Structure 1
């Protein structure tokens, strides 16, 4: 029975934003503009960091990796979502759904742990500045980046394997991409074990990075408070402001989406949350680091100046 049901469903259809049928063209235009801004912003950040030697530091190495990861993250989801707004009921094969979920989960978890590495970088820079270049060597930065990606791969393998060994009886996904919970709802068997696996993984990949970032900032703030001058405290904290802003929004959205009680789920809330962490949050990264970070703004001015010259 299990094997028979598993082979019955060979493709899925996304319900997506069909309940907002009269607004789909408007949604397409809005999402396309946001997606274009996200791509442009992240590509500009990656390019500026690579061409400006002033930004060849551990902090901007991690920002480069985060911008690159979020660029691929959005490519996995948004183009197909935009396509479905124009041409409804476009199916996705079972293999395509597995692939999309695997890359989505891998990159989402990778981003969580990259933000943790960036928090550790700020901790070392402020609390141990004399040994900063020794502690945050290029080798350490590469190891932290590979570790973040490795955790993402491992957790994605666990979650995707647990989901797609289920027998599916339904093919209409009440979402605009192959997210974990909407696909799990299509199973025609008890999913308690899968829900437990999802909860354990979610707790690990959200609470552990959040806890490490929290510890980093407790130590950072305690060090900043020891600085004698108000101007010195302000300048030191300014180096963390962009990262802290992105962290609060990123972990806040992830916590609400994956740790809230199942009984509180509604289709409209899930769609709004998903739009936030698949479109708004990736756009926030380049906006915050471009507008609130003096070094990035200076690098942009130098690049524009060289181009005009």
Structure 2
């Protein structure tokens, strides 16, 4: 292959989804509604955790941090999706493309580590109840939350940095945002080595964290089964059910797309699966954490009563 004219392209074209007419309009309106509801739901969780003292535990602190991550995570890609649905193929500068790639993966890695920290919090609450408040003090909570951001933005440097060094022959990205797999398909060179490095870094980060979560929940299951009454076991399991559901959604889609060889899936597959972890999971998270959560419902009632009292005052 002739590489003389191959250079670092100055821009890419995001192809998005090939929809037209009424279907495109419906897709745009549906995506916009989900996006706005996602922002509203996660912002609601953040505000509620801050406003109600009854949710001042470490579990809700980390749920609030997760919602904060989700607001930025969904905002990294969905505006681009809305633009491509509205206008069709959209140009994006190489700088903006690589920044989007880096920020998206950084926030994804941050969420990955945060889910591990939340599993640790549940483990300590159930398996070390007498030492829980000392082990999970406010200072420790802040340190752990900060560590997830540092770890996430550090881990994403490798795949994002390597991708910027590739020479690209083509400009049309068969995706609605800049991601590893669709960008690697545009490269002029063999990307086998790059794919192996990407798979190793992302697989190691997500895989080790997943093993940690499984180990912690193994300890939780063992401790819960030793509880004397069915009611106490049910209560212990209920505090973990929401987190387990979110972990299952996150890792099922992440492993499907990123673990292995990025770019090896059929072109349409990664785009569709991306909708799950980049759009629907952030939308579902606040619903999962609040729908069957008695403490959240009580907190909503207390905050609503407080606001009502303030408004009734002369």
Shorter-chain TM band:
over 0.9
How far apart are 1:261 and its partner, in Å?
6.2
Match of residue 312 from structure 2: none
Shift in CA distance, 185/263, structure 1 to aligned 2, threshold 3 Å: closer
Match of residue 21 from structure 1: 20
Equivalenced residue count is: 307
Match of residue 113 from structure 2: 113
Q: Distance in 2 between matches of 1:71 and 1:3?
A: 43
- The answer to which structure has the higher helix fraction is 1
How far apart are 1:266 and its partner, in Å?
2.2
Q: Distance in 1 between matches of 2:76 and 2:274?
A: 14
How far apart are 1:73 and its partner, in Å?
0.7
Match of residue 200 from structure 1: 200
Match of residue 297 from structure 2: 297
Q: Note the 1:106-145 alignment, pairs <5 A.
A: 106-145=106-145
Q: Distance in 2 between matches of 1:65 and 1:129?
A: 23
Q: Distance in 2 between matches of 1:245 and 1:47?
A: 23
**Any idea what SS the aligned residue of 2:12 has?**
strand
Match of residue 55 from structure 1: 55
Q: Distance in 1 between matches of 2:262 and 2:203?
A: 15
Q: What is the TM-score when the length of structure 2 is the normalising length?
A: 0.94
Which runs of 5 or more structure 1 residues have no equivalent in the other structure? none
How far apart are 1:142 and its partner, in Å?
1.8
Q: Distance in 2 between matches of 1:28 and 1:113?
A: 32
Q: Distance in 2 between matches of 1:156 and 1:162?
A: 10
Which runs of 5 or more structure 2 residues have no equivalent in the other structure? 310-314
Q: Say yes or no: does 1:6 pair with 2:1.
A: no
Q: In 2, are the aligned partners of 1:123 and 1:217 still within 8 Å (CA)?
A: yes
Q: In 2, are the aligned partners of 1:2 and 1:167 still within 8 Å (CA)?
A: no
Match of residue 244 from structure 2: 244
**Any idea what SS the aligned residue of 1:91 has?**
strand
Q: Distance in 2 between matches of 1:168 and 1:262?
A: 16
Q: In 2, are the aligned partners of 1:169 and 1:188 still within 8 Å (CA)?
A: yes
How far apart are 1:241 and its partner, in Å?
0.9
Match of residue 270 from structure 1: 270
Q: What is the aligned-residue RMSD (CA, Å)?
A: 1.7
Q: What is the TM-score when the length of structure 1 is the normalising length?
A: 0.95
Greater shift, 105-114 or 263-272, is seen at 263-272
Match of residue 146 from structure 1: 146
Match of residue 229 from structure 1: 229
Match of residue 82 from structure 1: 82
How far apart are 1:155 and its partner, in Å?
1.6
